[in-house]
Amino acid sequence: MSARLKLIWKPIDDFTITYISSAENSEEGGYPYAIYDSIEKEPLDINNNQYSSYTRNTASNALEFKYDKENYQIKMTSSYQMMDDNQSIDQDFSPDSAYFVVQEQIQNMVSNEIIARSKNNKMYNWLFGAFSFQQRFDRSVDVDIYAQNMVSKKEYDNAITGHALFHESRLTLGQLTLTGGLRIDYEKDTYDYNYELEMGGNIIPRYKTDTTRDDIVVLGKLAANYKFNGTNIYGLVSMGSKPGGFNSSWDVDHPNHIDFDAESSTNYEIGVKTSLMNKQLYAEATVYFIDWNDQQITVTNPSGIGTHLENAGRSFSKGAELTLKTIPFCGYVTTLTYGYTHAQFKSYVVDDETNYNGNFIPYAPQHTVSVRFSKSYQLQNTDVLDRIRVSLLYTGNGKTYWNNENTMSQKYYGLFNAKVSFIKDKFALNFYRKNVLNTQYVTYAYQAFGNSYVQLGKPSYFGMSLTYNF
């Protein structure tokens, strides 16, 4: 269940105040993992003896002030976000009562941003901005270890503060546009951790720590775009970064897993956007290369309970993307997209005996395909409906590796979806069917307790929805 509200007030022509509020409640079952039979190459039936679930309550509020003049604009936004969630997981994913995990978490974040930008200048435009946020995580993880009649109790208090200054300049010289940008980010992360065991009503302290880390990074961007005869050719070099932090799940006998370092990347991209066949077909093609340092990788904890982030040494991703789209013609619209990704570890040494050098990076599908076709039928001589729209969608993904060792993977698979919409004014009654061919595929997999576990995608299902466009 969710609700959203948006209010706009213009006390004067140049000044606009916008308020946006949303809230959502979600309660659902979850974590349908099955043991994967490596000999038969198929998953066994899901066979858990305890119900796993996920509940989440979220709320967000944002207030925006915008002052808009002919040659410049100033915008200030303040926002608040809250999330309160609970995960209850039969962690052994079996009919045995081995482990049961309950994680409760409350997150609160306040952020502020101010941006000033120029407008409508033919030759030079600029943008200056500042951003800050304060975020607080309060998290507890209780693990029932039935065989030992023991409960592992962990509490994490995490406070993060961040500030950023950024600028962008854009210079237009006829058909050529040059863009340069600079951003400075600072982030401070404070972490309090307490680990105890509860046995027979007694509390046994195991590990306690409080620590702080700081990250500061300077990022840049250079881009060029050339327009001619309805065609854009562009090139881009940019720097990217993810701040380091503290893991919300790690084994106490591996204290080196308590935190992870910042990730940095340099991104290179060139592309073209154009129209073909007398503007009946629009095309966009892009090739890119990403060079990572200390890429953050998700790894299963040695205990088999939970995951943590750690840093790979060097890695890269290179690929290409293509999009083709026809203009609406007699109600027909067709869109085709294709993406190719080749992502590998250059240098990822775990210890003297283990390295993943040359292996493919997990969770990165090597091919993605999307083909969308829609046809609208205008209805005449009736007041009941305005039109009927038929939509068909094919999506494909794969091959995708699930672990650093590259021993688990999902081969390429395709899904076919269909939808019929009956439209009157701003109302639409939609009937849809997802995964029409009932394709079986894996959405996530990992290894723990000497087994391989997989989560299958949803089988074929159908439904309906009623929408109203304001």
**Per-residue pLDDT reduced to its tens digit, 10-58:** 999 999 999 999 999 999 988 889 888 877 778 888 888 899 999 999 9
3-state secondary structure of 251: coil
Cβ atoms < 10 Å from Cβ of 383:
7
- pLDDT tens by residue, 332-364: 789 999 999 999 999 999 888 889 999 999 999
For position 231, what pLDDT does the model report?
A: 94
Cα 109 from Cα 60, distance rounded (Å): 9
* DSSP E strand boundaries for 277-381: 281-293, 296-300, 307-311, 314-326, 332-347, 367-378
CA dist list (Å): 435 to 155, 181, 320, 384, 416: 41, 43, 27, 31, 5
Using an 8 Å Cβ cutoff, are 153 and 197 in contact? yes
464 occurs within a structural domain: no
For position 47, what pLDDT does the model report?
A: 87
CATH number of the CATH domain containing 235:
2.40.170.20
pLDDT at position 252 over 90: no
Please give the average per-residue pLDDT across 395-421, as a whole number.
93
Q: What is the phi/psi pair of residue 257, to 5°?
A: -90, 5
Using an 8 Å Cβ cutoff, are 51 and 93 in contact? no
Instruction: Using CA atoms of 244, 245, 249, 253 in order, give the dihedral in degrees to the nearest 10.
Output: 90
pLDDT band at 305 (very low <50, low <70, confident <90, very high): confident
For position 162, what pLDDT does the model report?
A: 96
244 occurs within a structural domain: yes
Residue from 183, 178, 185, 266 nearest 222 by CA: 178
Q: How many residues does the chain have?
A: 470
Please give the average per-residue pLDDT across 48-73, as a whole number.
94
- The residue ranking higher by pLDDT, 151 or 278, is 151
For position 249, what pLDDT does the model report?
A: 82
What is the span of the domain harbouring residue 178?
Answer: 25-311
pLDDT band at 318 (very low <50, low <70, confident <90, very high): very high
Q: Fill in the DSSP letter of residue 329.
A: B
Q: What is the number of structural domains in the chain?
A: 1
Using an 8 Å Cβ cutoff, are 178 and 193 in contact? no
Please give the average per-residue pLDDT across 396-405, as a whole number.
92
Tokens of 384: 């009941």
pLDDT band at 331 (very low <50, low <70, confident <90, very high): low
Please give the average per-residue pLDDT across 407-424, as a whole number.
94
For position 57, what pLDDT does the model report?
A: 97
Tokens of 152: 């592992």
Q: Across all residues in the chain, what is the average pLDDT?
A: 92
pLDDT at position 138 over 90: yes
470 occurs within a structural domain: no
For position 30, what pLDDT does the model report?
A: 85
Residue from 403, 245, 307 nearest 89 by CA: 307
336 occurs within a structural domain: no
Cα 160 from Cα 91, distance rounded (Å): 29
292 occurs within a structural domain: yes
Please give the average per-residue pLDDT across 305-315, as a whole number.
87
Please give the average per-residue pLDDT across 117-142, as a whole number.
94
142 occurs within a structural domain: yes
pLDDT band at 256 (very low <50, low <70, confident <90, very high): confident
225 occurs within a structural domain: yes
Please give the average per-residue pLDDT across 183-194, as a whole number.
95
CA dist list (Å): 270 to 222, 230, 238, 365, 418: 12, 17, 12, 21, 34
For position 469, what pLDDT does the model report?
A: 77
Q: Kindly give, in sequence order, each residue whose CB lies less than 8 Å from that of residue 421, ignoring residues fewer than 6 positions away.
A: 388, 389, 390, 391, 428, 429, 430, 431
Share of the chain above pLDDT 90, in %: 73
328 occurs within a structural domain: no
3-state secondary structure of 193: strand
Cα 292 from Cα 310, distance rounded (Å): 14
Please give the average per-residue pLDDT across 274-303, as a whole number.
90
Residue from 87, 33, 91, 89 nearest 455 by CA: 33
Cα 356 from Cα 352, distance rounded (Å): 12
Q: Kindly give, in sequence order, each residue whose CB lies less than 8 Å from that of residue 403, ignoring residues fewer than 6 positions away.
A: 362, 445, 446, 447
